[in-house]
């Protein structure tokens, strides 16, 4: 393919990826280009699915000829020709779960420098040999603590959890971790046979026996005489200690509920050997300016800069002396500290000073993780590269957006191109060029409405983006409802919230605002959610979460919880983690579809029930892919990837199932319909029609019914959850909690979403959302603004009241932006 670099444009011809309609577009290089349009219009299909995918394909081909076959299996972007395309780096808000072992330090590669600093310039105990840099990493064989293998924690059963009530006897169920029913009775007989009193209170048993019952690995076989001797023969029963039983369940049980029950007896405790740092003991004896590397990893980035600066500022470095105990003032120390300080400063500029290097990447918000990657790229020294970014403004308070734009400008200034999928109009205004897709979503989108400098978009009547950008859209509705009571929370402490007191109004919509790290998510999605959940006795939504983080919430007093009869969290977490779950299965709309198919004369004749039409059931599904539609391709050096199933070509079903038709379509063809199309097709099926209506109301008419959960964006997942809620239309008083519901949404979609949320409030419910979008904040009835800054400098209520009241508060970082929007 000719590489046309004579002009400064990337030329795309005939792009048809997903919904793109034979798109021809020329996009400038060395510029910041914003890709805009309503959700589902095709922005990602063009920026990621076409431009980035093609750049990546060319890269693979150039580095590894064997990859050619792989690339064909992965699918080549549907485009006739692209010229002038430089290599690309994607900075996506990654949806998959990052590894628990990666941290802020490893993501940014700052950990490497810090380890080098400890290796080369640390203060060692007298006579101790210098350690290699790897010895300071818990992720290497050289550095990992021998006891916990670098994890820093140990997971094991705990006596308190396994025996919650020591006044009970074994017969009364003292050992909560043992199985119930027959197995439990069996174990009791065995214990009795071993000569231990099963009717004495647990605490009166000998300590040695208690330990043995709970923890032993021995499994004696005992001749058991059944307790109720209706039968007169005995049998040999095998003893399992409580720990052995829990471990056995976790290792072998396929039942989610059994595993969940077993997890309740497990606690993770910091490893006693390394104090939770994951490092080997001799690495923890090395210090720099009096601190171990573990202590430095725990400093906030703001503190880290203060800690390293005195060394970075030394003008006269001592000669490097490899034999000296301390190398603090050596040339190598000065150089490394200077480098570290410069790189950490970029993170401070991006408003991330509240993070620490040791913070696990699993606890970062997608926006935080993306900003870390952006900052890391600044230092990579690449030029002539296209960075493709996914909504860099997501999760950003307006006050944090300006520094991010400065960093993006610097990336551009060093000779790179930036292709940014973005909704935030303030960021779009700063772009050099805008490619606007539309006019609608899905089938109704996929055309380039405009490609050119931002100002020209004003002249494009069909562009919804233009209408919003140039103020042709009515301001959002204001409500100003009066609270019907309050939830009072006193003395909350968690993360950076310290003894916080806050009041949340009932039966209105409240927006919780504040800069990144101020404590919004901690307050709403952890403290508030957990208090209400516990009060209602609802099960934790995600069993995994409950395992990872046994939420300890410190709170002095709460009143008002009794007004809620239900808690609903509408978050951006995926609706499923495998391609087996999709929109139709999640909303249970598919149940209605399967019944329709089972009720057709042909199905009844063959005896096909509704189960036959599930791609998760053996009879009906394609055997090659087990109903997954894809097969996994494992490749050396590359993450596993999917290829379409060679047997059913993605249909998921076997041929006999596909012979059954309803109104001329088989079940796979129904899964291929968009919500809009299905609304027509299934108009006579009330249970399905109801779901479809609510899905359209939240702006998801363009999604296909069978679109796998793994292909949905966080914003789409969230709106599916919301639609599922709306279709239930229950009475009572629910508390709805939403974490940045507008992330990933075009202003036009935000308006749709707000209408639905206000409908919930009008029906008597309470809505609390964490939010940055100013239109959303001013449409709320009440605002709680946290701050004034992130981390230890935040965690306080800076302002609270109606949007108009908060807009007038002096110390609030949000106030000036609100005031400007309300003016």
Kindly list the residues in this chain that would bind ligand ADP in the complex (CB under 6 A): 18-19, 37, 39-45, 354-355, 363, 442, 495-496, 514, 516-522, 702-703, 711, 790-791
Nearer Cβ to Zn ion, position 483 or 650? 650
**Which of 274, 364, 374, 799: binder of Zn ion (CB under 5 A)?**
274
Task: Calculate helix-pair angle for 207-215, 242-252, nearest 10 degrees.
Answer: 10
Report whether 582 contacts 707 (CB < 8 A): yes
Report whether 317 contacts 331 (CB < 8 A): yes
- Extended strands (E) in 153-220: 153-157
Examine residue 273 and tell whether it contacts Zn ion (CB under 5 A). Answer: yes
**Which of 648, 737, 752, 813: binder of Zn ion (CB under 5 A)?**
648
Q: What would the two tokens of residue 12 be?
A: 């795309």
Distance, in Å, from the CA atom of 116 to the CA atom of 126, rounded to the nearest integer, reads: 20
Examine residue 284 and tell whether it contacts Zn ion (CB under 5 A). Answer: no
Q: Which does 39 bind (CB under 5 to 8 A by kind): ligand ADP, Zn ion, none?
A: ligand ADP
Residue 690 CB contacts under 8 Å (≥ 6 apart), including other chains: 727
Instruction: Return the range that interacts with Zn ion (CB under 5 A); candidates 8-16, 254-262, 513-521, 615-623.
Output: 615-623
For strands 486-494 and 497-505, give the pairing.
Answer: antiparallel
Residue 323 CB contacts under 8 Å (≥ 6 apart), including other chains: none
Burial class (CB in 10 A: 0-12, 13-18, 19+), 206: exposed
Q: Which does 645 bind (CB under 5 to 8 A by kind): ligand ADP, Zn ion, none?
A: Zn ion
Examine residue 624 and tell whether it contacts Zn ion (CB under 5 A). Answer: yes
Q: Which does 274 bind (CB under 5 to 8 A by kind): ligand ADP, Zn ion, none?
A: Zn ion
- What is the nearest approach in angstroms of Zn ion to the Cβ of residue 51? 30
Nearer Cβ to Zn ion, position 65 or 646? 646
Task: Tell me which residue of 98, 96, 93 sits closest to 48, measured CA to CA.
Answer: 93
- What is the nearest approach in angstroms of ligand ADP to the Cβ of residue 565? 27
**Total residues in contact with Zn ion, by rule CB under 5 A:** 12
Examine residue 625 and tell whether it contacts Zn ion (CB under 5 A). Answer: yes
Q: How many CA atoms lie within 13 A of 542 on its CB side?
A: 16
Q: Which does 44 bind (CB under 5 to 8 A by kind): ligand ADP, Zn ion, none?
A: ligand ADP
Q: Which does 216 bind (CB under 5 to 8 A by kind): Zn ion, ligand ADP, none?
A: none
Report whether 704 contacts 535 (CB < 8 A): no
Nearer Cβ to ligand ADP, position 19 or 666? 19
Instruction: Return the range that interacts with Zn ion (CB under 5 A); candidates 32-40, 433-441, 604-612, 646-654.
Output: 646-654
- Extended strands (E) in 363-438: 386-390, 417-421, 433-438
- What is the nearest approach in angstroms of Zn ion to the Cβ of residue 274? 3
- What is the nearest approach in angstroms of ligand ADP to the Cβ of residue 591? 23
Report whether 794 contacts 354 (CB < 8 A): yes
Nearer Cβ to ligand ADP, position 570 or 703? 703
Nearer Cβ to ligand ADP, position 29 or 43? 43
- What is the nearest approach in angstroms of Zn ion to the Cβ of residue 134? 17
Nearer Cβ to Zn ion, position 255 or 624? 624
Q: What would the two tokens of residue 482 be?
A: 């009066």
Examine residue 579 and tell whether it contacts Zn ion (CB under 5 A). Answer: no
Q: Which does 363 bind (CB under 5 to 8 A by kind): ligand ADP, Zn ion, none?
A: ligand ADP
Q: CA–CA distance from 733 to each of 324, 484, 674 (Å)?
A: 69, 12, 33
Q: CA–CA distance from 188 to each of 199, 213, 231 (Å)?
A: 10, 11, 17
Angle (nearest 5°) at CA 587 between 580 and 771: 100
**Which of 13, 147, 261, 490: binder of Zn ion (CB under 5 A)?**
147
**Which of 23, 622, 685, 754: binder of Zn ion (CB under 5 A)?**
622
Nearer Cβ to Zn ion, position 645 or 678? 645
In the block, tokens 């034999």 appear at: 323
- What is the nearest approach in angstroms of Zn ion to the Cβ of residue 615? 9
Examine residue 435 and tell whether it contacts Zn ion (CB under 5 A). Answer: no
Task: Tell me which residue of 743, 744, 683, 752 sits closest to 723, measured CA to CA.
Answer: 752
Q: Which does 622 bind (CB under 5 to 8 A by kind): Zn ion, ligand ADP, none?
A: Zn ion
Distance, in Å, from the CA atom of 714 to the CA atom of 98, rounded to the nearest integer, reads: 16
Examine residue 225 and tell whether it contacts Zn ion (CB under 5 A). Answer: no
Report whether 289 contacts 297 (CB < 8 A): no
Nearer Cβ to ligand ADP, position 88 or 190? 88
Helix (H, G, I), strand (E, B) or coil at 796: strand
Residue 232 CB contacts under 8 Å (≥ 6 apart), including other chains: none
Q: Which does 648 bind (CB under 5 to 8 A by kind): Zn ion, ligand ADP, none?
A: Zn ion
Phi, psi at 161, each rounded to 5°: -75, -35
Nearer Cβ to Zn ion, position 144 or 512? 144
- What is the nearest approach in angstroms of Zn ion to the Cβ of residue 28? 43
Distance, in Å, from the CA atom of 538 to the CA atom of 718, rounded to the nearest integer, reads: 20
Size (the chain), residues: 823
Could you give the string, one character per residue 232-271, with x where binding to Zn ion holds by CB under 5 A and - elsewhere? ---------------------------------------x
**Which of 145, 333, 346, 411: binder of Zn ion (CB under 5 A)?**
145
Nearer Cβ to ligand ADP, position 40 or 86? 40
Report whether 89 contacts 385 (CB < 8 A): yes
């Amino acid at each position: 393919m000719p590489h046309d670099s004579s002009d400064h444009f990337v030329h795309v011809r005939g792009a048809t990826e997903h919904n793109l309609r034979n798109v021809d577009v020329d996009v400038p290089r060395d510029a910041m280009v914003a890709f805009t349009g309503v959700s589902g219009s095709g922005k990602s299909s063009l920026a990621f699915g076409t431009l980035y995918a093609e750049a990546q394909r060319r890269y693979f081909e150039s580095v590894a000829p064997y990859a050619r076959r792989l690339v064909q299996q992965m699918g080549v972007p549907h485009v006739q020709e692209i010229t002038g395309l430089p290599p690309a780096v994607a900075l996506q808000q990654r949806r998959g779960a990052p590894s628990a072992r990666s941290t802020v330090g490893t993501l940014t590669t700052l950990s490497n420098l810090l380890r080098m600093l400890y290796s080369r310039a640390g203060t060692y105990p007298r006579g101790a040999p210098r350690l290699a840099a790897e010895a300071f990493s818990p992720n290497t064989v050289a550095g990992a603590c021998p006891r916990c293998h670098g994890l820093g924690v140990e997971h094991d059963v705990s006596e308190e959890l396994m025996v919650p009530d020591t006044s009970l006897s074994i017969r009364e169920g003292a050992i909560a971790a043992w199985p119930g029913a027959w197995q439990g009775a069996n174990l009791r007989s065995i214990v009795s046979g071993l000569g231990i009193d099963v009717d004495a209170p647990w605490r009166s048993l000998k300590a040695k026996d208690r330990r043995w019952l709970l923890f032993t690995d021995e499994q004696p076989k005992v001749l058991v005489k059944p307790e109720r001797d209706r039968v007169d023969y005995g049998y040999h029963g095998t003893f399992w200690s409580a720990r052995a039983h829990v471990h056995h369940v976790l290792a072998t049980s396929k039942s989610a509920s059994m595993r969940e029950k077993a997890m309740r007896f497990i606690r993770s405790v910091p490893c006693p050997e390394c104090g939770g740092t994951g490092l080997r003991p001799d690495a923890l004896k090395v210090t720099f300016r009096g601190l171990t590397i573990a202590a430095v990893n725990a400093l906030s980035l703001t503190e880290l800069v203060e800690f390293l600066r005195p060394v970075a500022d030394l003008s006269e470095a001592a000669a490097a002396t490899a034999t000296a105990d301390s190398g603090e003032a050596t040339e190598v120390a000065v150089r490394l500290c200077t480098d570290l300080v410069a790189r950490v400063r970029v993170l401070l500029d991006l408003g991330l000073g509240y993070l620490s290097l040791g913070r696990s990447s699993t606890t970062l918000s997608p926006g935080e993780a993306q900003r870390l990657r952006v900052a890391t790229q600044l230092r990579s020294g690449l030029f002539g590269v296209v960075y493709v970014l996914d909504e860099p403004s997501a999760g950003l308070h307006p006050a944090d957006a300006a520094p991010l734009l400065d960093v993006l400008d610097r990336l551009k200034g060093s000779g790179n191109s930036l292709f940014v999928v973005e909704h935030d109009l303030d960021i779009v205004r700063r772009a050099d060029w805008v490619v606007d897709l539309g006019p609608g979503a899905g089938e109704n989108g996929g055309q380039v409405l405009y490609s050119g400098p931002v100002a020209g978009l004003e002249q494009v009547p069909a562009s919804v983006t233009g209408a919003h950008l140039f103020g042709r859209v009515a301001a959002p509705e204001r409500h100003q409802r009066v609270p019907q009571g309050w939830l009072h929370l006193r003395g909350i402490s968690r993360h950076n919230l310290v003894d916080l007191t806050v009041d949340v109004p009932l039966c209105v919509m409240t927006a919780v605002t504040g800069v990144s790290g101020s404590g919004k998510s901690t307050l709403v999605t952890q403290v508030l959610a957990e208090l209400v959940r516990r009060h209602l006795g609802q099960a934790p939504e995600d069993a995994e979460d409950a395992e990872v983080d046994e939420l300890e919430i410190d709170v002095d007093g709460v009143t008002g919880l009794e007004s809620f009869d239900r808690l609903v969290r509408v978050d951006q977490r995926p609706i499923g983690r495998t391609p087996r779950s999709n929109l139709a299965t999640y909303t249970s709309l598919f149940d209605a579809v399967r019944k329709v198919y089972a009720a057709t004369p042909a199905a009844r004749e063959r005896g096909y029930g509704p189960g036959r039409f599930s791609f998760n059931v053996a009879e009906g599904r394609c055997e090659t892919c087990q109903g997954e539609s894809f097969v996994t391709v494992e490749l050396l050096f590359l993450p596993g990837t999917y290829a379409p199933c060679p047997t059913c070509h993605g249909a998921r079903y076997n041929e006999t199932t596909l012979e059954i038709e309803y109104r001329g379509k088989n079940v796979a063809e129904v899964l291929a319909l968009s919500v809009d199309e299905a609304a027509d097709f299934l108009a006579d099926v009330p249970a399905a029609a109801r779901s479809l209506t609510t899905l359209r109301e939240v702006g998801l008419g363009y999604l296909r019914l069978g679109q796998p959960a793994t292909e949905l964006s966080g914003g789409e997942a969230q709106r599916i959850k919301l639609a599922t809620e709306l279709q239930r239309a229950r009475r009572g008083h629910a508390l709805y909690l939403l974490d940045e519901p507008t992330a990933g949404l075009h202003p036009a979609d935000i308006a749709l979403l707000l209408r639905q949320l206000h409908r919930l409030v009008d029906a008597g419910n309470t809505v609390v959302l964490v939010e940055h979008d100013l239109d959303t904040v001013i449409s709320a009835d009440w605002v709680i603004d946290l701050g004034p800054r992130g981390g230890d400098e935040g965690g306080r209520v800076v302002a609270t009241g109606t949007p108009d009241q908060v807009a007038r508060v002096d110390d609030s970082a949000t106030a000036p932006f609100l005031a400007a929007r309300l003016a």
